[in-house]
Amino acid sequence: MRTFQLSILVKTFKSSWARNKAGFHSWVQPTGHNTGIEVYNCTARTIVPVILRDGNVASWYTCGPTVYAPSHLGHASCYVKVDIIQRILRKHFNINLVTAMNITDIDDKIIRACSEGTTWQEVAKANEASFWEDLKGLNVLEPDIKLRVSEHIPHIIDYISKLVDEGAAYVGKDNSVYFKVEQCRIYGKLQKVNMEKGVEHDVKEAAVDFVLWKAAKPEEPFWDSPWGQGRPGWHIECSTMASKIFGDCIDFHAGGLDLRFPHHENEEAQSCMYHGKSQWVNYWLHAGQLYVKGQDEKMSKSLQNTVSIKDFLQNHRADVFRMACALSNYRNGMIYGDETLITAQKTLQTLIAFLSDCQAYIDGKIPTSEFNSSQTLEMISKTESLVDTALKSDFDTSKAIGHLIHLASFVSKGIHSPNTLKWLIRSSNVDSVIAARNYCEKILSTFGFDVRKQGMNSLVGSETVDIGAILENIIALRRTIRDQAKSAKNKDLFAVSDDIRNALESSGIEVKDHEKGSSWQFVKK
């Protein structure tokens, strides 16, 4: 019996495909600080606990763009979702997150994008600048570390050399260097791979082997290497740069779902072989892709169905797209269309209106109501617990926002409840209203939303103009006119007051009249 088992074991180690079938690609749970967070793990194929090796410090690597053209909303959906999760880890869970992102600034697409008299460096530099500008417009935080492929060629060559020396890579008949997949017993960790495709190939040993170093072609950029002139393959770039920054283990590695195979699979394989480990990344996070409504394919340049980030931001607030991303589970695909944007706009407007009502109540513009302050504080505490549970459950931002909406509805009903005993002096309950407002603003800020009036300043020439203060003055003047109209029962003054309100509304500013004052908020025109 033992001899039979040993024979089976030997055969298993001789066959990479058999090793995968035997389960050698299973996820290894790290040891260290249990954060209480649970995420979906594509290697384990289930929800697993997030455990950090170094206390509350975590490393995070994101696959950045290939900068051959301006970015579009398909790219934006991934980076906004990643940004939301990173903010949650930092601000809600108090994790000291160190982030890095690569820029692929040399690639076939970049070379093809060169017009006559334009170099690949110029194409890459211009599109990278546009990319960072787009992210800023979407309020996406830049990574702590930016990595460019062209600046790490020597490190990439050294990385490949070690793989060749250890028999994990070889020089093909075309003088390119290939990774020997058959030597990697953990291949197929992230996604099931049909290893039976490993047949003879014209330039490499097996069809599944992937390129690490591309031999130079005529009139293409190249660097000298031990295997001749050429440039690095796509997958080896991320492995080298991420390893240079974070070493032989990374806590989080993120990117779009379309990168899981082959890019991330190949990254994990070559990195495990390089570092002599069975697991390089502890948590792979993949963002679902953006689809145009009515189409089966994702938004991509090749299908010519893209919407540029700049064009989107000319017609919509960045917070609207962020809300659309937050209402979609980060792992799921997202439909881009009017319905999605309208839902996001309405959700955002509901929360902004709640904050505006809170401020109006705090300022005394809405008369004291009869709602129960202790019940409000209980609801805030309950909401805090529910939101925390949602965020610990694979960053369920959609459910968390649902809890915020429920809290806003509860408090709003209290604010606007009639005070039938106006002659009785009672508590204003303003403390509980402030607490509800503060908590709502805190969570929205954690998700990266900019909803406070203090952020509504505009730069004109070299001086800053406070739009919020200007609007407050206009609203106050209108209120004076309206009060005089009521006092004198003057229809003409009422008409002037209504004209001002309508003019503001046509500009996207809604005015609400209360018993003791007026409040305002931005709305979609």
pLDDT of residue 182: 92
Query: Is a pLDDT exceeding 80 seen at residue 197?
Result: no
**Residue showing tokens 């379309």:** 258
> 223 has which bridge partners?
230
CA distance linking residue 403 with residue 432, whole number of Å: 17
Share of the chain above pLDDT 90, in %: 67
Q: What is the pTM of this model?
A: 0.84
Token code pair at residue 486 = 């009521």
Nearest to 240 by CA among 123, 67, 100: 100
User: For 194-212, what is the mean pLDDT?
Assistant: 79
Query: Is a pLDDT exceeding 60 seen at residue 480?
Result: yes
User: For 176-200, what is the mean pLDDT?
Assistant: 83
Query: Is a pLDDT exceeding 50 seen at residue 281?
Result: yes
DSSP state of 66: B
User: For 199-205, what is the mean pLDDT?
Assistant: 77
DSSP state of 31: -
Query: Is a pLDDT exceeding 90 seen at residue 507?
Result: no
Asked if residue 230 lies in contact with residue 222, where contact means CB atoms within 8 angstroms, the answer is yes
pLDDT of residue 200: 57
Nearest to 264 by CA among 239, 289, 241: 239
Tell me the DSSP string of 76-131: HHHHHHHHHHHHIIIIIS--EEEEEEEEB-SSHHHHHT--TT--HHHHHHHHHHHH
Asked if residue 145 lies in contact with residue 100, where contact means CB atoms within 8 angstroms, the answer is yes
Query: Is a pLDDT exceeding 60 seen at residue 331?
Result: yes
The domain at 2-313 falls in which architecture? 3-Layer(aba) Sandwich (3.40)
CA distances from residue 287 to 137, 246, 257, 334, 481 in whole angstroms, order as listed: 20, 22, 5, 10, 53
CA distance linking residue 473 with residue 114, whole number of Å: 53
Tell me the DSSP string of 397-452: HHHHHHHHHHHHHHHHHHHTS--S-TTS-----HHHHHHHHHHHHHHHHHTT----
pLDDT of residue 26: 82
Which one has a higher pLDDT value, 115 or 49? 49
Cβ contacts of residue 309 below 8 Å, gap of 6+?
70, 71, 72, 73, 75, 76, 134, 137, 138
246: left (phi over 0), alpha (psi -120 to 50) or beta: alpha
CA distance linking residue 277 with residue 247, whole number of Å: 12
Cβ contacts of residue 23 below 8 Å, gap of 6+?
none
Token code pair at residue 435 = 């607490």
Give the lowest-confidence range in 41-45, 351-355, 421-425: 421-425
CA distance linking residue 307 with residue 230, whole number of Å: 35
Give the lowest-confidence range in 21-30, 76-85, 353-362, 390-399: 21-30
Q: 3-class DSSP state for residue 85?
A: helix
pLDDT of residue 455: 37
Query: Is a pLDDT exceeding 50 seen at residue 14?
Result: no
User: For 166-193, what is the mean pLDDT?
Assistant: 94
> Tell me, what amino acid is at 119?
T
Query: Is a pLDDT exceeding 70 seen at residue 127?
Result: yes
Nearest to 246 by CA among 64, 85, 60, 43: 60
pLDDT band at 244 (very low <50, low <70, confident <90, very high): very high
Q: Taking the domains of the chain in order of start, what are their residue ranges?
A: 2-313, 348-451, 455-525
Encode pLDDT of 402-453 as tens digits: 999 999 999 999 888 776 554 444 556 889 999 999 999 999 999 999 876 4
pLDDT of residue 219: 86
Encode pLDDT of 91-113 as tens digits: 999 999 999 999 999 999 999 99
- Signed CA dihedral, 467, 468, 471, 477: sign only: negative
Query: Is a pLDDT exceeding 80 seen at residue 488?
Result: yes
- Signed CA dihedral, 188, 194, 198, 202: sign only: negative
pLDDT of residue 420: 54
Strands, E, within 111-267: which ranges?
145-148, 169-171, 177-179, 210-215, 230-232, 250-256
pLDDT of residue 196: 61
Query: Is a pLDDT exceeding 80 seen at residue 2?
Result: no
Query: Is a pLDDT exceeding 50 seen at residue 1?
Result: no
Asked if residue 486 lies in contact with residue 513, where contact means CB atoms within 8 angstroms, the answer is no
pLDDT of residue 11: 37
Give the lowest-confidence range in 18-32, 259-273, 342-356, 459-473: 459-473
Give the lowest-confidence range in 208-212, 408-412, 460-464, 470-474: 460-464
pLDDT band at 515 (very low <50, low <70, confident <90, very high): confident
CA distance linking residue 503 with residue 485, whole number of Å: 18
Query: Is a pLDDT exceeding 90 seen at residue 48?
Result: yes
Query: Is a pLDDT exceeding 60 seen at residue 13?
Result: no
Encode pLDDT of 287-329 as tens digits: 999 999 888 788 987 777 889 999 999 989 999 999 999 999 9
pLDDT of residue 149: 98
pLDDT of residue 423: 43
Token code pair at residue 72 = 């579009």
- Signed CA dihedral, 292, 89, 133, 119: sign only: negative
Asked if residue 232 lies in contact with residue 156, where contact means CB atoms within 8 angstroms, the answer is yes
Which one has a higher pLDDT value, 372 or 460? 372
Token code pair at residue 344 = 């996001």
User: For 138-167, what is the mean pLDDT?
Assistant: 98
User: For 34-53, what is the mean pLDDT?
Assistant: 97
Residue 102: other Cβ atoms inside 10 A: 24
